[in-house]
Each structure stands twice: as C-alpha cells, then as structure tokens.
Structure 1
Amino acid sequence: MENFIVSARKYRPSTFETVVGQQHITGTLKNAIKNNQLAQAFLFCGPRGVGKTTCARILAKTINCTNLTTEQEACGTCESCVSFQTGHSFNFHELDAASNNSVDDIRSLIEQVRIPPQAGKYKIYIIDEVHMLSANAFNAFLKTLEEPPSYAIFILATTEKHKILPTILSRCQIFDFNRIQVDDISGHLNKIAERENIAVEADGLHIIAQKADGGLRDALSMFDQIVSYTNKNLTYKSVIDNLNILDYDYYFKLTQYLTTADVSNSLVLFDEILNNGFDGNNFINGLASHLRNLLVAKDPQTTKLLEVSENIKQKYISQSQQTPVSFILTALNLANQCDLNYKNSKNQRLQVEMALIKMCHIPSVLQLASQPLTNATDNDQIKKKTSLTSAPAPTPAVSQVVPVAAPVTSIPLTNPATSSIPAIPVIESKPVTTPSASIPLPKRAPVPSAKIVLKPSPAAQQNKSAVLIPSLNGIEKKEDGEDGDEPKYITGNDREAFTQEQLLFYWNEYIQIVKEANKINVYTLMVTSPPILESQEEIMVHIEHKLQEDILQNEMIELLNFLRPRLKNFSILVKTKQVVKEVVNRLYTSVEKYQYLVEKNPKLEEMRRRFNLDVSS
C-alpha cells in the first residue's frame, strides 16, 4: 500500500510564489536576493502554522541556487536545489531549539560555522523555536550572531518573540508573519481538493478556515480528517458534525425567535443545542459573534469584515435588514454580561436562559420607549377636567363668572401620522356673566409660576428615544444630553430673600445628612468652613487648597438641590475662595525652644551665662 503523506507536507510550498498569505514577507526577501542585500541574521515571528519554517527553507534553497529565475525563484533543477530537496545538502543545517537548548548544543553549532561551504556560496543555519534556548545558550550565541563569517546566514524562527533577549533581537532583521486570512485558506484548500479529485462545498471550506484561526497547517490537518470521514465528499454538514461546530442556521433561527419575542421556541432551541453536547458559554459567545456580524452587515462598507462564504454573507445581509440596530446593540450587551457572569454562576444554564428571555423582551421595551408623548397620567387629568366642566353646576346665589360649555373640538395629543391613539376631546369654556350685580371674589395668594418640564420616563433610562412625561411640580431639570444618568440642578423662578441665620440653619441640617451618609471629607469641610452670605445669589466658602474645592464641587449638585427649595431662592450659587492661613512655626530643636523662651523672658540668657549652661544638651 502506498505510503500516505499528509497534505501539510505533501503541499508544502517550495517557492516564494506558492507561499499563502505572506506576500509582504516573500516580496521583501526576493528584493533582498535581487539586490544582494541579505542580512546576516533573520528572525521570523508569528503564530503557529503560518509559514515561518517554510519561508526559511525556501530562502535557504533560493540563495544557493545557481540558476535563479527572473522572479528570483529557485530553479529546482540545479545541483544545489536537487541536493536540498533530497536532504543531502551540506550547506543547510536545521536545529530544533526545543530539544537542543543547552550551551553545549550552541557550542557545537558554532564549531560547524567555522567550516566554510565546500560547494555553493552560503551556509544557512535555521534554529526553530529559538525562544526555548536557555539564557546561557543565548549568551554563548551572541558573539557569533553579531559577527558571523561572510558565508554564514542564521534564520531564527519563534512563536513567542517576547521571550527572546533584546540583545538577540537587536542583531536580527525581524519579520512578523500575519495570520492567514480565511479567504486565502479556503482558496488554498479548494486548489488541493481539485488536485485530489475531492468534492467540496464552499461553505464547508470556510468553516474549516475559520476554525483554523489563521493557521494553514491546522486547516490542512482538519481537511485531511474530514476527507477521510466523508470519503472524499466534503460537505458543510459533515464539517460541522465532525468539528463539533454550531451551525449558522441555529443562530439565524434563534435571532428570528428573539426579534419576534418567541420565548418558548428560543428556550427549546437552546435545550436542543445543549443536548447536542455544546457548552452554554460557547453558545453565548457564538450568539455574540452572530450579532456582531449582523451589525457589520448593516453597512456595505463594513460587509467585507465578514469572514464567511458568499452564501452565508447574503444571509447575514438579509437578516440584518430585518433587525433594528437598537435590538442588536441591546442584545450584544446582554450577551456580553452573560459571558462575564457565566463562569462565576452556580446555575450556568439559568444565566443563558435569562439572557435569552431578556433578549425576547427587547422589541416590546423598544416599542414602549418609542411611543408618542402621552401616558395614563395625562389621560386621567384630561378626564378629570372634562368631568368637572361637564358636570351640572349648582345655581349660584349671587352673580359670578360661570363657565358655559362651548363646542367640542378634537385636538390630537400626538402626530396622527405616527400614532394610533385617537384624538381626545377637549371642552373649551367661555366666561358669561348673569344680569345681577357682580360681587368680587376673595383674592387668592399668588401662585408661583410653574413650568411644564419634560422629564425622562423609566423607559428613558434604557433608551434615549423613550417617552418624556410632563411634570407640573414647578421645577425644571437641566438635561445633560447623552449622560442621562447624571444628577441635575433644580432650578425655578422663586427668588425670596433669606438671612445668614437661615443659611446656617439649613447648612447645619445638610452637615448632619452628609455625616449619616459617611461622607467624611464633605463633613469635615462643611464644619470647618462655614458659609458666608455675600449676596442673595452668592454664598462664599473659604477653602485652604485645591483639594477642598474639588470635594465641594463633587457635592455641589446635591447641596444646591437641598438649599434652593428650603431657602426659596433658586438663583443662589455656592462659590469658593482660597485663603492662606497664617503659618505657625513649630519648635523642634532645643535652640529654637530656648530662643522662643528668651523672647518671652530675656533674663533667661543672663541666668544661662551665669551658670555656664549649654543649650544644645
């Protein structure tokens, strides 16, 4: 029976042109060969299976070829190329640093470097997995790497560049290999399938390419495995079954359930996925990736970011057009929160099910948030006004102004084009007087002018386009744009005068509040810096440094919201003024203390001289 050779070896690139997905590397190396500007040492870095060792071998074969093509490729027929391909070349040495990482192994390599090539121009030394060398081996290799013979070229390959000493990195030309794109891997697999007469489906090859995560060697290994499993009939279904991958159709179907608020089918589908052996965490991560792809498919400019086959891409575009952006973003946030809480949860299945239930209710929340400006409170007020106006009024004993019902006019509360709520009748009234003499009514106390303020409803906390509820409480809340969760100043029209005593009274009340709230910094500042009433609109607080000003500024909104309604003055502001207190010199040494005492009582100096006392002791 013929010996089987895996595809990763059988179809290993032999020229720069056949290297997959690393054109920036191969182009640079070919130009270096063409211009005779080869470095003494190269360092190839990148993930596994992207072509580092393959490019090193191609470079070693090409620079010793005696009959280069016009594209700077090895001919493959000269004596040097033939000996290299058969493994008999004396100018090529490959060392696996994972198993030969001692100082003795490097010294043996250095001894070989001293021998010039018997045939050919260069001797090439490839050290694979060079990061596995010990620190002593690196140090023993430094001098030779810095000043090698003119005929010696070193090519180092590693998947972990950060583990290599900086002294080694500074002596090499560094080439960073990229992860191979999904389209490049699937195209390469398709070419191999054509050569091997294997029937394939494009969607199945894309799944293999995505699962390989940028590594061509991993993709070829999976390709061989599935070809054996399917007897040379590679289909999309066989790939997802063999690699244990969740089908795209699951996520497309689940998204349809979520957008239609079908909780039952969503939970049943998740149960089916669990019964097929899939992990809940992988499922929620896959759902997040699916939602991300839907968001990307919204814009034709970002559709190219979808690393899927053309058939699946059209499905994403179609479903993205039917799914609102607000739903996708909210669902993405829920999926992310579920992923963060999954590992720490004792009931992990419930975490995913709760996330799915919340996602099913997203459309209803968005629909409620997008309703026009009306609510039950408004309707109750209108009904109350209507009942009061239309109710039979008692016959007045004296003449007074009596409202008489006028024709009813229908005034819509919202735009008829965007709302299905019927117009609510509002009764207009006109004042009519009786023939008898009018008796003046008692005067009422002046009512403070109120402003109708639109404040966010609870739904607005979740969505910026939510309903705004009118408020007649006589205060106005200053909106902060997108930062809807920030506190707001309470403002109004009242500007009554108040005294310093009233200010101190409410100031001390607020001190007790911050004390109970355990705000020690604010409490200390307010106790040590009492307020000064500069004017009816300005309160001054003296501070000693910038830190105290920052503490007061952080508390300013709550402080003003407390003081303004109690002092009945909504125009007051609290300002700070930095003052420099007199610095008290502290006495530390014996001399300083003595001089201080002498200033108080000069006779001490006479006594010290008489008894010949030493102050420093």
Structure 2
Amino acid sequence: MENFVVSARKYRPVTFESVVGQSHITTTLRNAIRTNHLAQAFLFCGPRGVGKTTCARILAKTINCLQLTEDVEPCGVCESCVSFQNNASFNIHELDAASNNSVEDIRNLIDQVRYPPQTGKYKIYIIDEVHMLSQAAFNAFLKTLEEPPSYAIFILATTEKHKILPTILSRCQIFDFNRIQPRDIAEHLQFIADKEGITVDQEALELIGQKADGGLRDALSMFDLNVTFSTDNRLTYEAVLENLHVLDYDYYFRLTDALLEGSTPQSLIIFDEILRKGFDGHLFVVGLLEHFRNLLVSKDPVTIPLLQVSESAMQKYAQQSTTASPSFLLSGMSIAGQCDINYKSAKNQRLLVELCLMKLANLTHVLNLDPQAVEETAKKKVDTVSLNPSKAPNETAPQPGSGPIAQPAATDVPPKRSKLRSTALLTPSLHGAATTPQPTADAPTPTEEEPVVKEPLTSEKLQLAWYQFADKRKREINSTTEEIALRKTFQLVDNRIEIVLDNDHQMDAIQGMRYDLLSFLKRKFDAPTLELQPRVAPQEVNRQPYTSAEKFNYLAEKNPHLKDLQKALGLDVDF
C-alpha cells in the first residue's frame, strides 16, 4: 500500500515561480541573486503557513545551484540541487530554534560556521522559529551575525517579529510575508485537484480559502480533510460546509430579509435553527456584523472588490443591498456591535442575542415613522409639562432667569421615533409656560411650503429645543453615555452654551454629537454664532485616614490638645 503524503508536503513549491501569493518577495530575491547583491542575513517574518520556510529553502537551493536558468531558478539536476533534494547537502543546515534554543546550540552552530564549504560557494544556515531563542542565545549569536565569513549566509524565519531583539533586526534584511488572498488559495487548490483527479465546486474551494485566513498550509490541510471525508472523489460546497462547520451565507440572507420585513418571529426561528445546528451565538453575531458590512460595501460598485466572497455570493450581496437602506445597515451594525461587546459578560446570552434581533426587526418600522405623528406626540408632551409643572417627571417648571437650565428626565421620551421638524412647536409665555400659537385673521395659516421663521434665542426656548434633541438622539443612537451627558446642567451665556460634565467619557460623547446638536439648534433659532463650550468639572477625592499616623493627625486637627497630651506623656504614634 502506497504511503499517503499530505498535500502541504507533496506540492510544496520548489521554485520561486511556484510560490503562491508572495510575488513581492520572490521578485526581490531573484533580483538579488541575479545582481549578486546578497545580504549576509535575511529575516522572513509573517503569519503561519504563508511560505517563509519554503522560500528560505528555495533561496538556499538557488544560491548554490551550478546551472541557474535565465529566470534565476534552480536547475534541479546539478550536484548541489540533487543533494539538496535528497536531504544530503553539506552546505545547507536547518536548525529548529523551538527545540534548540540554548546557548550551547548556538555555540555549536558558530563552530560549524568556521569551516568553509567543500563544494559550492556558500554555506546557508536556516533557523526556523528564531524568536524562541533565549536571551543568552541571542547575545551569543550577535557577533557572528554581524560579521560572518564571506561564504556564510543566515536565513531566519519567525511568526513573531516583535519578540526578536532590535540588535538582531538591525543586522538582517527583513522580508514581511503577506497573508495569501482567498482567490489565490482557491486557484492553487484547483491546480492540486486537477493533478489528483478530484472534481470540485469552485464555491467549495473559495470557502476553504476564506476559512484558512491567509494560510496556505491550513488550506491544504482542510483540503485533504474534505477529500478524505468524500467517498466519490468529489468536493461539494454543502459537504465542505458540514465538514468545516461553517455557517452558510444563506442564513444571513434569509435573516436580513426577515429583519427588513419587520418579522420578529421569523428572525427568532432562524436563530433557533442556527443554534440547533451547534453554532455558537457569539459566532453568529460576529457573522451578522460582517454580513451588514458586506451589504454596505456592495452599495457602491467601486467598493464591491473589497468583498472576499465567491461570485455567486457577491451577486446576492449586490441584490440584497438594494433593499436595505444605509440607515438600517448602520443602525443595525451599531446594535449588533453592542451585542458583540456585551455577549461574554451576559448571564443569559441567548436572550441577549434575541433582544438584539427584536431591535433589528423593529428598526425598519422606527426609521419609517410619520414625522407628523411624532411632532404631535412631542407637542402634547411639552404642553402637559408646561401647563402642569407638578406632573413633570423629576423636574419643576423652569423659571426665567433662574440660572442653570434643568435637563430632561431619562423617562421623558416620546413613544415613537422619527426626524423632528425644525419648526418651533411652542411659544413660551412671559411666565415660562408654553402656549400653542394660534392663527389670526390677518395672518394666514402657515403651510409646509412656507419658509420657517427662526425664533430669537432665550433660555426657556433653548430648554424646549434641548428636550427635543435629547429625545431625538436617544431614539436614534440609544447611548447611555450620551443620555447622561445631555442631562447635565448647562447655562446660556450670551450666545454660548456652557455645560459641566463629570468625566472624559461624557466629554467624548458631547464632542461626538457637537455638530448635530449645534445644527439642530441653529435651525430653530436666529443664532448663527451659537457655540457649545463643554468642560469637565474637577473631581474632589476625599481620602479617608488609613495609617495610625494619619488617624492621629486627623483627630489632632479636630482636638489640638491631643498633641499636648502626646508630648506630656512621651507617647509615640505606631507607624
């Protein structure tokens, strides 16, 4: 029975041309060999499975090849190439620093460097996982790495560049390997499938490429796993989905359709189906965020290439993006993002995700509310608060000239959400009560087509407008920090709104909505120079006495006779 060789070894690149997805590296190395500008030490760094060790071996083989091709590739037939392919070369040495990381191992390597090559021009030392060397081993290696013999070349490879000493980095020519694109991985897998006589679906190969996360070795391992799973030498998209335990795109497309229709029951049923298949709820939320991002990207043909999906999935994204508005997608990403942040700390994680889906299902309805209905609701609310101050939640009716303006209570929110009109709803009286403006016989009733007359800015009118913006912002953003910041005390000084905040988080929240707040207020009032001046109030920290000396001094401040008693009795405070 023939021994099975995994694809990662069987189809390992042996020339620069066959390296996948690292053309910027291979082109530079071939030019260096062609012009004989080889560095004394190379450092190959990048993620796992992207070709660092492979390129190191190809470079070592090419440097010592006796019959280079015109494309600067090893011939594969000369004595040096044949000995390398048979693992019998005396000029190329590999050291695994993960298991040989002591000072003695490096000293043995340095002793070998002293002897020139018997055949060939160079002796090449490949040190893999070089970041695993100990501090002492690095220090022992420094001098040799800086001034090696003319025939010695060191090739270091690592996945964690930040763990290598700066003194080592400064002595090396550094090459950063990229993650391999899913399409390049799919093309390479298609080449191997053709060689092995395996029938594959293009979507299956692209799915493996996405799941590999830029690592070709991982992709080849998954390819071998799925081929072994298949019984008829055929690789289908459905089989790869099941074998790799990947959540299908179709679930997200169906869920988004249900959310756009406002169907809460259907969205919960789809989520339950996903959980029954064994998928993690957090993985589902992260995938939903990515799905909304892909829909947003699909809205512009210029950004469609940013999608790392198959052609058929790309068409589905382009089709569904026409039915989802940017407002829905941005708000949905904000709601799902909060769910992602709070998932691990939630006691009932399933309920958290279901609540997120309920909000998303109601989002379309909220975004499409009639502005007239919301305006009437806000008008009734402010009328009730103005005419019945005792019924205002947690606040009293504002009095003119009373200094700081009170903030709206957290519960004072209209039941519906939409964009409020910029026309003034109320005209405050001289006593601070708001009254509804009545049309007169001489003045025609204003219509929606007539231009809105801006009102003069006063403290009372500013308070009502501030109520409206706070409610509008809460319905649109629903940020606790913003809500607390909008409820802080503020004053109107000339054309400057001064607001006092508790901390930097509230300052960031105010600065984030500064433009929207000022635009809203300037539309309502004749105050083009209106400015917002927030500041953080200094916090006073009252530290309680802790040590014996602090307690004694604290009591002595209240009763100075204690110090006289201490001196008279010759007592010492126990420090």
Q: Aligned pair in 2 of structure 1 residues 55, 199: CA closer, same or farther (>3 Å)? A: same
Using the size of structure 1 for normalisation, the TM-score is 0.64
Q: Aligned pair in 2 of structure 1 residues 147, 369: CA closer, same or farther (>3 Å)? A: farther
Q: How does 1:176-187 map to 2 (within 5 A)?
A: 176-187=176-187
Give yes or no for contact 1:375–1:469 (8 Å, CA) kept in 2. Answer: no
SS in 2 for 1:94: strand
Name the counterpart of 1:298: 299
Name the counterpart of 1:490: 458
Q: Aligned pair in 2 of structure 1 residues 47, 537: CA closer, same or farther (>3 Å)? A: closer
Name the counterpart of 1:199: 199
Provide the C-alpha distance between the structure 2 equivalents of 1:145 and 1:74, rounded to a whole number of angstroms: 26
Deviation (angstroms), 1:461: 11
Deviation (angstroms), 1:132: 0.3
Provide the C-alpha distance between the structure 2 equivalents of 1:327 and 1:344, rounded to a whole number of angstroms: 27
Q: Aligned pair in 2 of structure 1 residues 372, 168: CA closer, same or farther (>3 Å)? A: same
Name the counterpart of 1:472: 426
Provide the C-alpha distance between the structure 2 equivalents of 1:537 and 1:309, rounded to a whole number of angstroms: 60
Deviation (angstroms), 1:353: 0.1
Give yes or no for contact 2:379–2:425 (8 Å, CA) kept in 1. Answer: no
Deviation (angstroms), 1:538: 12
Using the size of structure 2 for normalisation, the TM-score is 0.69
* 1:174 paired to 2:174: yes
Aligned-pair identity in percent equals 61
Name the counterpart of 1:343: 344
Name the counterpart of 1:238: 239
SS in 2 for 1:304: helix
Deviation (angstroms), 1:490: 3.4
SS in 2 for 1:190: helix
Deviation (angstroms), 1:472: 2.1
Deviation (angstroms), 1:294: 0.5
Deviations 1:432-454 (A, max 9, x none): xxxxxxxxxxxxxxxxxxxxxxx
Deviation (angstroms), 1:233: 1.1
Q: Aligned pair in 2 of structure 1 residues 295, 80: CA closer, same or farther (>3 Å)? A: same
Provide the C-alpha distance between the structure 2 equivalents of 1:121 and 1:85, rounded to a whole number of angstroms: 18
Deviations 1:407-457 (A, max 9, x none): xxxxxxxxxxxxxxxxxxxxxxxxxxxxxxxxxxxxxxxxxxxxxxxxxx9
Name the counterpart of 2:404: none
Give yes or no for contact 1:209–1:219 (8 Å, CA) kept in 2. Answer: yes
Name the counterpart of 1:590: none
Give yes or no for contact 1:40–1:148 (8 Å, CA) kept in 2. Answer: yes
Name the counterpart of 2:353: 352
* 1:190 paired to 2:190: yes
State how many pairs are aligned: 421
Deviation (angstroms), 1:369: 5.9
Give yes or no for contact 1:369–1:459 (8 Å, CA) kept in 2. Answer: no
RMSD (Å), alpha carbons:
3.4
Q: Aligned pair in 2 of structure 1 residues 179, 112: CA closer, same or farther (>3 Å)? A: same
Give yes or no for contact 2:41–2:153 (8 Å, CA) kept in 1. Answer: yes
Name the counterpart of 1:496: none
Provide the C-alpha distance between the structure 2 equivalents of 1:227 and 1:252, rounded to a whole number of angstroms: 29
Name the counterpart of 1:438: none
Provide the C-alpha distance between the structure 2 equivalents of 1:572 and 1:160, rounded to a whole number of angstroms: 53
SS in 2 for 1:171: coil
Deviations 1:580-602 (A, max 9, x none): xxxxxxxxxxxxxxxxxxxxxxx
Pair member with larger Rg: 1
Provide the C-alpha distance between the structure 2 equivalents of 1:366 and 1:537, rounded to a whole number of angstroms: 36
Name the counterpart of 2:259: 258
Q: Aligned pair in 2 of structure 1 residues 29, 123: CA closer, same or farther (>3 Å)? A: same
Provide the C-alpha distance between the structure 2 equivalents of 1:489 and 1:370, rounded to a whole number of angstroms: 24
SS in 2 for 1:155: strand
Deviation (angstroms), 1:370: 5.7
Provide the C-alpha distance between the structure 1 equivalents of 2:378 and 2:292, rounded to a whole number of angstroms: 38
Give yes or no for contact 1:33–1:63 (8 Å, CA) kept in 2. Answer: yes
Deviation (angstroms), 1:203: 1.1
Unaligned runs of at least 5 residues, structure 1? 381-456, 477-487, 494-516, 527-535, 540-549, 558-569, 576-617
Q: How does 1:568-587 map to 2 (within 5 A)?
A: none
Deviation (angstroms), 1:130: 0.3
Q: Which has the higher contact order (CA 8 A, sep 6+)?
A: 2
* 1:48 paired to 2:48: yes
Deviation (angstroms), 1:206: 1.2
Give yes or no for contact 1:369–1:467 (8 Å, CA) kept in 2. Answer: no
Deviation (angstroms), 1:79: 1.1
Name the counterpart of 1:218: 218
Q: Aligned pair in 2 of structure 1 residues 85, 287: CA closer, same or farther (>3 Å)? A: same
Name the counterpart of 1:284: 285
Name the counterpart of 2:109: 109
SS in 2 for 1:175: strand
* 1:228 paired to 2:196: no
Name the counterpart of 2:364: 363
